[in-house]
Amino acid sequence: MPIAFQVENFVVRTDSPQDAAAQNATRVWRWFVLVVSLTGLWIVGVGALSLLTANPVTLNRDQILESTDVVTAVVKDANHGDVRVEKSWKDVVQEDELELSNLRETSPSVGARLLIPVSSSRKGWRVTLSKLPGEPPLVYPVTEESERQLRQLLKNGRLP
């Protein structure tokens, strides 16, 4: 609503084109700030989700089911494939220590606690190969989730 008032012999109007342009610029700036703020919040939210849920462990069903046993083991010597067995999930492995001929291919860290699907052969024990072509055998970090998946696989033959 235009407002006009008279100061001595001059009429001053508050709805001049310059005022309208300033109001329009202010309105555009506010929308810009709002959009940039919402975009920033969205990026922060997506980043937080990716950090908190990135790379969940998923066991390879075929590898687990085709293995002779699955052991929870601690890597003693990655180069020679020596591990200390803590638990045998299928109760086949009776040894306290195993030498896995292809453990080195999985690039484990010494002291790492892993779920390792193993298969026996005439040459001894080895990490069971997965059906992924050209990929090293898979071993899994021991977590509550990986153990839950393993129990489910061994019980039902499939993941939940």
Alpha-carbon gap, residue 92 to 38, rounded angstroms:
57
Residue 8, pLDDT above cutoff 70: no
DSSP letter at 112 equals -
Those residues whose C-beta lies under 8 Å from the C-beta of residue 26, and which sit 6 or more positions away, are none
Answer yes or no: are the C-beta atoms of 127 and 102 closer than 8 Å. yes
Residue 6, pLDDT above cutoff 60: no
Instruction: Tell me the CA end-to-end span of the chain in Å, nearest whole number.
Output: 66
- Please report the pLDDT score of residue 14 as a whole number: 57
Mean pLDDT of the chain: 88
Answer yes or no: are the C-beta atoms of 97 and 111 closer than 8 Å. no
Answer yes or no: are the C-beta atoms of 74 and 86 closer than 8 Å. yes
pLDDT in tens, 113-130: 999 999 998 889 999 999
Those residues whose C-beta lies under 8 Å from the C-beta of residue 53, and which sit 6 or more positions away, are none
- Please report how many Cα atoms fall inside a 13 Å half-sphere around the Cα of residue 137, on the Cβ side: 24
pLDDT in tens, 67-109: 999 999 999 999 999 999 999 999 999 999 999 999 999 999 9
CB atoms within 10 A of CB 155: 8
Alpha-carbon gap, residue 88 to 85, rounded angstroms:
7
Which of 75, 121, 71, 73 lies closest to 91, judged by CA?
Answer: 71
